[in-house]
Chains A and B, each alone.
Chain A
Amino acid sequence: MNEFAFRSALTGPQLAALALIPPAILALYFLKLKRQPLEVPSTYLWHKAIEDLHVNSLWQRLRQSLLLFLQLLIAALALLAAWNPTWLSHELRGERYVFLIDNSASMSAADLEPSRLEWSKQTAAQLIEQMRPGAAAMIVSFSNTARVEQQFTTNRNELLNRVAAIRPTSRPTNLREALLLAAGLANPGRTSTDAGDVQVADALPAEMFIFSDGHLPAVEGFSLGNLEPTFITTGSAAAKNVAISAFSVRRPERRASEIEVFARLHNHGLETAEASVELRLDGELIDASRMTIEPGESDGIVFPLTEMETGVLELRADSRDDLVADDRAWVAVNPPQPARVLLVTPGNDPLEYALTTGRANERAEVTLEPPPFLAGERYQAIANSDAYDLVIFDRCRPETMPRANTLFIGTTPVGGQWQQLESADVPVIIDTNSAHPLMNLIALGDVDIVEARPLEVPSGGQVLVESQAGPLVAIAPREGFEDAVIAFPLVDAEQVYTNWPLRLSFPVFVLNVLDYLGHSEDALEQGFVRPGQSLALRLSGAGEEIRVRDPGGDEVRVSRGNLGAFNFAATDQLGVYEIMADDISMGSFAVNLFDADESAIRLAEDPKLKIGFIDVAGQAAPQVARREIWWYLLLAALGVALVEWYIYNRRVYL
């Protein structure tokens, strides 16, 4: 495995110029050789001695030029050092390599100098240096997505450049996509086995180096095939990290005039950590505290604040740990954006009451129209624009579906996807899908229904309320919007169909409808965004184009998509993104890490990857990197120079 190679950074002409030095020394030696004259009593004996010596051999002459030879030796050593002889203790013997380099958030940890990612890049570069000439390699960086930094190439410089160009991200980790990319050439989808088969690509086995800190979910159902994996772990088992695991703003139910800022810190290290916590509003310090967190434990902290309208709250937790990405978190508090709701009804008092509660008024601006409105031209105009976020059809149906979310009460959306079954008397509610946001905090145990026509839910839809006769409330997607259907009318001119409007769950349901289908968000209840997550920004009042300014100050132009939303995916950076339309701020959103897997940077005792049915044990580092010995050569040259000086100045004879 050991091999010796010259890896000079100098080009041929430069080396040739260096090679001229020894002849130059020889020439100078003979040109300069000037014997010091010295008067002696008699040269008689000397002549005899010299004659005797001359008879001897060539070696005597060589010995006379000892200093010359020492100088030549120095030059030779220096030349050799310039040639950069390198002892390669672990040369990679294979033909093809794949380097998978993790650049997720946890790889930014600084427990290795300068960071885990940099260390991985250096190690990968060393491995690339050790590749046999002619061997090809491919570079893939991965976080939750994978990116081919360099396709298979034998160009070593290109590979090194591409490795050096890998940048850290703040994303979570998932190996699957990277493995799929790596396996592309190693495991072709089909192989030709019969003579008649069309020739397909031959499998090209490759050795695969995975650089990661091991916080990877197992990759199920993946076969490595011709890939030979080596898992090189980075990071230390003693890494310290105190992470902000939650940061939110809420309004206490009892004291509506105040808001509370809530933060939770988790200590992922092995030692008790102290963290100083700072809360800043728009960059100005407004509160601070100090927390002591036991290892493996979480601790929460609440900052009470008086009312605030808008702004960016930032939390900083400084505990001198190894990962800084999770030491800051942001919440963007936007001005309230009430949902624009169109209610088309022949008259529905319970619903109208529910839409005019104080909470509902905060969240929605409701426009009331009678069913004949649907036949008019104004409806057509509204249906084709995004003037409303939510349209509620109470016992009526439009001819064309609006470009908005809808709620149908007692009828179904047009288009034939939805069907209603035969009428069922007194259906008994047997289940509610409480996981769906529409059914949040809703219990229907005390609701009685006189008569309903159970639903046939289109594919992709979800049943929210199930009765023994069939689904009573359901929701299904439609071209980027969602349609919710209640299978029974609430009231009629003649009769009341249900006692639900009398129950507490009804106004709550209406609020859920406004929140979920109307996209109304309380100013304080801003959801957070994960790094790398794509957003569909629904902005009423914006034109066809918005600009998003990321935390780094760069602006990205986003055009309105087909479905009316602005799709924005460049959320790689942590921090606050500001949305601008025609130089008017439309609010902002924050991207926070909040990922326990990425924050838990401590390396496991025996890190391993589970890929399919194979466990790949982690290695600390490739056995040995190359060792350059020019350093020793230069030392030897220096030593010879000292010897030469000594011989020249002292009386040392050979």
Chain B
Amino acid sequence: MSQTTEEPLLSPELLARLERLEFVSRKIFRGKFKGERRSKRKGQSVEFADFRNYVVGDDLRFIDWNTYARLDRLFLKLFLEEEDLHFYCLVDTSRSMEFGEPTKLHFARQLAAALGFVGLIRADRVRIEPLGPDKPPSAPMLRGRSSLWRMLDYLNSFEAGEAQPLAASVKQFCLRNPGQGIVVLVSDLLDRGGYEEALRYLLARRMDVYVVQVLAQEEFDPELAGDLRLVDCEDQDVAEVTISAPLLKKYKQTLAAFLASVREFCHARGMVHLVANNQTPVDQLILSYLRQRGLVR
């Protein structure tokens, strides 16, 4: 919508600071390719893990011959396997993300780009998907620093538009991507159908889930006055309000209650919930808040 005027998704300074980061997964997932992180599997690497007794059928190459010579028993030397990580970033592209200055969508794209970059440079597998379109274009699985520009181009193609409910989009994602990994959901969660079902789908895949709830400054502190007919941009639902101090107070209370309920839901299920204001700089969000929450280090 206003991409031409918006700042680039990633600035060189931000890239420089992101270089030093890597994803931390609280769960250890089975990767597809050999990567840069330790695997739960014992495998071929230079890092010694353990010994165990030899059983018939084991690969003879891993028998510790020095021990056999000393103890006359066959032990198998186990090494830690190093694997890659699946990193998914789900960006809500419903119409409601179009609000704010900068728009929440732009903010979400920036965040996705930054996190994707972290993944790329650590040789993780990065997939960024828009949530919303009925039939989303197949998202490329990206790997390696060289994929950065592809990722950015792809992100720039995201546009807000007619969207199906959040839960349906997440369900489709889960069906398409059976693999485990880290998933970051960037959305305002303002879905009439509720956010719980969507998060449950992600949980069911036993993924490491981060929920970044993006809200515009206008949503935190609405600058409205007078007799208004509020029209929902997604379903054209109408709310007639006359702005008054108690109503604004009530709105803020409702918003706080809503955010608190999301946080509680997430914490109870081992998910990390983070509320982001679209005015917050992305680097601060990543380098400070997400680091504290343990997504990156």
Surface stretch bound by A, among B20-28, B106-114, B220-228, B264-272? B220-228
Question: A50 and B239: CB pair below 8 A?
Answer: yes
List A contacts of B241 (CB < 8 A).
35, 46, 50
Cβ-defined contact, A654 with B244, below 8 A = yes
> A66 vs B245: C-alpha distance in the bound complex, in angstroms?
12
Residues of B within 8 A of A46 (CB): 230, 239, 241, 251
Assess whether A60 is in contact with B231, with CB atoms less than 8 Å apart: no
Cβ < 8 Å to B, chain A residues 22-75: 33-50, 52-53, 56, 60, 63-66
Q: Is A41 touching B251 in the complex (CB atoms < 8 A)?
A: no
The answer to whether B250 and A52 touch across the interface, beta carbons within 8 angstroms, is yes
Whether B246 contacts A43 by the Cβ 8 Å rule is no
A43 neighbours in B (Cβ, 8 Å): 230-232, 237-239
Chain A residues whose CB sits within 8 angstroms of the CB of B242 once the complex forms: 35, 64-65
> With a CB–CB cut-off of 8 A, which chain B residues contact A654?
244-245
- Cross-chain contact of A50 among B192, B224, B247 (Cβ < 8 A): B247
A64, B258: Cβ atoms under 8 Å? Answer: no
Q: With an 8 A cutoff between CB atoms, is A254 at the interface?
A: no
Q: Is A651 an interface residue (CB 8 A)?
A: yes
**Given A35-B240, A48-B254, A50-B241: A42 and B229 interface contact (C-beta under 8 Å):** no
Alpha-carbon distance A166/B244, docked complex (angstroms)? 63
- Of all chain A residues, the one with the shortest Cβ separation from B215 is A41
Whether the pair B227, A44 counts as a contact (CB closer than 8 A) is no
Query: Would A37 and B229 be within 8 Å (CB), given that A45-B254, A64-B242 are in contact?
Result: yes
| Contact between A49 and B247, CB atoms less than 8 A apart | yes
B250 touches A653 (CB 8 A): no
State the CA gap A266–B294 with chains docked (Å): 112
Measured CA separation A46–B98 after assembly (Å): 18
Q: For the complex, is B260 an interface residue (Cβ under 8 Å from A)? A: no
B297 to chain A, nearest CB (A): 33
Q: Quick check: B229 and A38 within 8 Å, CB to CB?
A: yes
B window 188-238: CB within 8 A of A: 188, 190, 192, 216, 219, 223-234, 237-238
Q: Is the CB of A45 within 8 A of B231?
A: no
> Please, how many angstroms separate the alpha-carbon atoms of A44 and B193 in the complex?
10
Cβ of A28 to closest chain B Cβ, rounded Å: 14
| Partner among A35, A42, A47 whose Cβ is within 8 Å of the Cβ of B227 | A35
Is the Cβ of B96 less than 8 Å from the Cβ of A41?
yes
Chain B residues contacting A53 (CB-CB under 8 Å) are 246-247, 250
**Residues on A with beta carbons closer than 8 Å to the beta carbon of B251:** 45-46, 49
| Secondary structure class of chain B's binding surface, majority of residues | mixed
> What B residues does A37 contact at CB under 8 A?
228-231
**Given the complex of chains A and B, what is the CA–CA distance between A34 and B240 in angstroms?**
10
Contact B192 A44 (CB under 8 A): yes
Let me know if B255 is at the binding interface, CB within 8 A: yes
CB distance from B225 to the nearest CB of A (A): 5
Contacts of B98 in A (CB 8 A): 41
Binary contact track B75-107/A, C-beta < 8 Å → 1, others 0:
000000000000000000001111100001000
The residue of chain B having its C-beta at the shortest distance from the C-beta of A647 within the complex is B225
**Residue contact B231 to A39, C-beta cutoff 8 Å:** yes
Contact of A653 among B231, B239, B243, B254 (CB under 8 A): B243
Scoring A35, A36, A65 by chain B CB atoms within 10 A of each residue's CB, the highest score goes to A35
Contact code string A611-654 (vs B, CB < 8 Å = 1, else 0): 00000000000000000000000000000000000001001011
Q: By the criterion of a CB under 8 Å from any partner CB, how many residues of chain B are at the interface?
A: 41
Chain B contacts of A42 at CB under 8 A? Answer: 96, 188, 190, 192, 232-234
Q: Is B63 among interface residues, defined by CB-CB distance under 8 A?
A: no
Measured CA separation A66–B227 after assembly (Å): 11
Closest Cβ of chain A to B172, distance in Å, is 22
Question: CA–CA, A42 to B238, complex, Å?
Answer: 10
Residues from chain B with a CB closer than 8 A to the CB of A49 are: 247, 250-251, 253-254
Q: Is residue B148 within 8 Å, beta carbon to beta carbon, of the partner chain?
A: no
Smallest CB gap from A651: residue in B: B225
Residues of A within 8 A of B239 (CB): 43, 46-47, 50
* Chain B residues with CB below 8 A from A47, complex form: 237, 239
Contact partner of A35 (CB less than 8 A), chosen from B96, B225, B229, is: B229
In the complex formed, the residue of B with least CB distance to A66 is B244
* B192 surroundings in chain A (CB, below 8 A): 42, 44
Residue B248 at the A interface, CB < 8 A?
yes
Whether the Cβ atoms of A44 and B190 lie closer than 8 Å is yes
Q: Which residues of B contact A41 (CB under 8 A)?
A: 95-99, 104, 188, 190, 216, 219, 232-233
**Once the chains are docked, how many angstroms separate the CA of A41 from the CA of B231?**
8
For residue A50, give the distance in angstroms from its CB to the closest CB of chain B.
Answer: 6
CB-defined contacts of B95 to chain A, threshold 8 Å: 41
- Which residues of chain B have C-beta atoms less than 8 A from A52's C-beta? 250, 253-254
* Complex: chain B residue closest to A42, CB-CB: B190
Whether A653 contacts B248 in the complex (CB less than 8 A), given A40-B233, A43-B239, A45-B254, comes out as: yes
Q: Which residue of the partner chain A has the closest CB to B224?
A: A38
A34 to B242, CA, bound (A): 11
**Please, which residue of chain B has its CB at the minimum distance from the CB of A44?**
B190
Whole-angstrom distance from the CB of A456 to the nearest CB of chain B?
112
Query: CA of A336 to CA of B256 in the docked complex: distance in angstroms?
Result: 117
Give Cα A35 to B227, complex, Å.
5
Question: Which chain A residues lie closer than 8 Å to B232 at the CB level?
Answer: 39-44
The one of A35, A39, A60, A651 in contact with B246, judged by C-beta atoms closer than 8 angstroms, is: A60
Cα distance A52–B256 when bound, in Å? 14
Query: Are A35 and B244 touching (Cβ within 8 A)?
Result: no
Alpha-carbon distance A37/B238, docked complex (angstroms): 9
Report the minimum CB–CB distance from A217 to chain B (whole Å): 77
A residues near B96, Cβ cutoff 8 Å:
41-42
**Contact flag A40-B230 (CB < 8 Å), given A47-B239, A49-B254:** yes
Residue of B nearest to A46 (CB): B239
Assess whether B233 is in contact with A39, with CB atoms less than 8 Å apart.
yes
Please measure, in the bound complex, the distance between the C-alpha atom of A47 and the C-alpha atom of B99, giving whole angstroms: 19
Could you say which residues of chain A place their CB within 8 Å of the CB of B229?
Answer: 35-38
Choose from B228, B237, B246 the contact partner of A38 (Cβ within 8 Å): B228
Min CB–CB distance A195 → chain B (angstroms): 82
Q: Are B245 and A653 within 8 A (Cβ)?
A: yes
Closest-CB distance, A59 to chain B (whole angstroms): 9
Complex Cα distance, B269 from A149, in Å, reads 103
Q: Within 8 Å CB of A38, what residues of B?
A: 224, 228-231
| Contact partners of A33 in chain B: CB under 8 A | 227
Q: Which residues of A contact B237 (CB under 8 A)?
A: 43, 47
A35 cross-chain contacts in B, Cβ below 8 A: 227-229, 240-242
Taking the closest CB of chain B, its distance from the CB of A636, in whole angstroms, is 24
- Nearest CB in chain A: distance from B134 CB, A: 20
Tell me how far the C-beta of B83 lies from the nearest C-beta in chain A, rounded to whole angstroms.
40
Give the shortest distance, in Å, between A139 (CB) and chain B (any CB). Answer: 61
User: What are the interface flags for A357-399 relative to B under an 8 Å C-beta threshold, 1 for contact and 0 otherwise?
Assistant: 0000000000000000000000000000000000000000000
B268 to chain A: closest CB distance in Å? 22
> Which residues of chain B are near A40, meaning CB under 8 Å?
99, 230-233
Query: Separation in Å of the B147 CB from the closest CB of chain A?
Result: 32
What residues of A have a CB within 8 angstroms of the CB of B226 in the complex?
A: 36, 648
CA gap between A454 and B56 in the complex, in Å? 195
Name the residue on B nearest A41 (C-beta). B96
> Chain A's nearest CB lies how many Å from the CB of B228?
5
- Best-surrounded residue of A34, A47, A63 (most CB of chain B within 10 A): A47
Residue of A nearest to B97 (CB): A41
| Central interface residue in A33, A36, A39, A40, by most chain B CB within 10 Å | A40
| Extra 13 A-B pairs, beta carbons < 8 Å, given A44-B192, A50-B241 | A37-B230, A40-B233, A41-B95, A42-B190, A42-B233, A44-B190, A45-B258, A46-B241, A47-B237, A52-B253, A65-B242, A653-B243, A654-B244
What are 22 A-B pairs with beta-carbon distances under 8 A? A35-B228, A36-B228, A37-B231, A38-B230, A40-B230, A41-B99, A41-B188, A42-B96, A43-B231, A44-B192, A45-B251, A46-B230, A46-B251, A47-B239, A49-B254, A52-B250, A52-B254, A56-B246, A63-B246, A653-B243, A653-B245, A654-B244
Binding site for A on B (CB under 8 A): 95-99, 104, 188, 190, 192, 216, 219, 223-234, 237-248, 250-251, 253-255, 258
Leading 4 A-B pairs by shortest Cβ distance: A653-B245, A35-B229, A64-B242, A41-B96
